[in-house]
């Protein structure tokens, strides 16, 4: 199975053209890859929290999640956003199945921060990939909301990039983090350039210098972590130009490919 896990960030969801969903369905129908979608929902969660006057600060790009914030995050992501993506894929002619990490214990979670400072923020301890394979083998495109659950039934909000990395590892597939920018960008000699590939060493240096900052930090770290734990490859791609996805799958230059220092020596 050539699994291709696509993480769609909340910031880009409202901007994605119909052609993006059509491209995913086309790749599935042509047997080029088996797409699996993991999505976020940050901006919509923020809007609802503001309406409800619920405070929700961030620490290192991760949302501090109280029980109240968790309920809102689940409602937005597993409810409206998940079904919107499923609808868009089906409008494009695909068969999509919306699921959350809670369903069938798809994303078995544990607390990310043992000190409790982040609240109900989890990390993925295990992925029930058998459930995903059932959906895929019956012609479906899984669409996953990153709310996880532990043995006791406690739910956790999981960073979408981290959840996508765990799913890619589990399926031994490639991971594409879909963004609204062409990749990791830097201003060099007054010009904006996109880094076509970055190693772990280069990434750490760019985080230290502030070139990579904010929400891009968990994104790029997830791309790296997915490699060290078994994903075959990871890349940050621009979803606003769907051809980038096709170009990447066909081995052409697109986005920012993230690689281990060892891999870079073979390039």
| Cα–Cα separations (whole angstroms), residue 201 to 138, 222, 258 | 41, 15, 11
Domain hosting 99: range is 3-264
Q: Would you give per-residue pLDDT tens digits along the chain (267 residues)?
A: 689 999 998 888 889 999 999 999 999 999 999 999 999 998 999 999 999 999 888 887 778 899 999 999 999 999 999 999 999 999 999 999 999 999 999 999 999 988 888 999 999 999 999 999 999 999 999 999 999 999 999 999 998 888 998 999 899 899 998 988 778 888 888 888 888 898 888 988 989 988 888 877 877 887 887 777 667 788 999 889 888 888 888 888 888 898 876 655 555
User: Residue 172 — left, alpha, or beta (φ > 0 → left; ψ -120 to 50 → alpha)?
Assistant: left
Neighbours of 14 (CB within 10 A): 10
Number of domains present in the structure of the chain = 1
Q: What are phi and psi of 76, to 5 degrees?
A: -70, -50
CATH number for position 189 = 3.40.1160.10
HSE toward the beta carbon, residue 243, CA cutoff 13 A: 2
pTM value is 0.89
């Amino acid at each position: 199975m050539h699994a291709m896990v696509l993480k769609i960030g909340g910031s880009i969801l409202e901007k994605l053209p119909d052609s993006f969903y059509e491209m995913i369905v086309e790749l599935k129908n042509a047997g080029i890859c088996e797409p699996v979608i993991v999505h976020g929902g940050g901006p919509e969660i923020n809007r609802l929290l503001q309406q409800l006057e619920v405070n929700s600060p961030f620490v290192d790009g991760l949302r501090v999640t109280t029980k109240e914030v968790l309920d809102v995050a689940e409602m937005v992501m597993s409810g409206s956003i998940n079904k919107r993506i499923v609808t868009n894929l089906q409008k494009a002619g695909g068969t999509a199945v919306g699921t959350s990490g809670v369903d069938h214990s798809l994303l078995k979670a544990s607390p990310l921060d043992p000190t409790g400072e982040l609240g109900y923020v989890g990390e993925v301890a295990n992925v029930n990939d058998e459930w995903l394979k059932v959906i895929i083998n019956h012609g479906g495109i899984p669409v996953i909301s990153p709310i996880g659950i532990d043995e006791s039934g406690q739910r956790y909000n999981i960073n979408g990039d981290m959840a996508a990395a765990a799913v890619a590892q589990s399926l031994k597939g490639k991971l594409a983090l879909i963004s609204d920018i062409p990749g990791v960008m830097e201003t060099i000699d007054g010009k904006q350039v996109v880094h076509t590939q970055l190693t772990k060493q280069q990434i750490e240096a760019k985080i230290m210098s502030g070139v990579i900052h904010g929400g891009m930090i968990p994104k790029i770290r997830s791309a790296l972590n997915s490699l060290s734990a078994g994903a075959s490859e990871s890349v940050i791609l621009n979803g606003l130009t769907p051809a980038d996805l096709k170009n990447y799958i066909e081995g052409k230059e697109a986005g920012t490919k993230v690689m281990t220092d060892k891999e870079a020596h073979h390039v």
